[in-house]
Amino acid sequence: MIGFIWLAVAVDIWCCQWLTADAELNPMVRTILVSHGVWTLVATKVVATFAVTELLRYLRLIYSIGVAGAMLALILILSGAIPV
C-alpha cells in the first residue's frame, strides 16, 4: 500500500511540470502555484506523502489507543466517576 501511494505521488509530481494556475481546478493548488511556483507544490506533495505514510505505519497503534481511551471514558461515565 505504501509503495502504491509513493507511485501515485510520483506520477502526480511528474504531471505537475505542465501545470499552470489557469488550468488548475483545485483552489489550494492554484494558490500555491500563483504564490510560490511548481517546485513548492512538488515539495509540499513529497512532505505530505511522507507524513501520511509514516502515520499509516502507526495506524494500528493509534486505533488501539483511541479505542482504549473511548472504553475508559465510557466505563468512567457508567460507573459515575465522571458525572454527566
Q: Where are the domains of the chain?
A: 2-79
Q: Whole-model pTM?
A: 0.57
CA dihedral over 29, 46, 13, 43, signed as positive or negative: positive
The answer to whether residue 4 scores a pLDDT higher than 90 is no
Mean pLDDT, residues 58-70 taken together: 92
How far is it, in rounded angstroms, from Cα 73 to Cα 14? 47
pLDDT at 7: 83
Cα 14 from chain centroid?
Answer: 20
Give which of 66, 14, 2 is closest to 38, Cα–Cα. Answer: 14
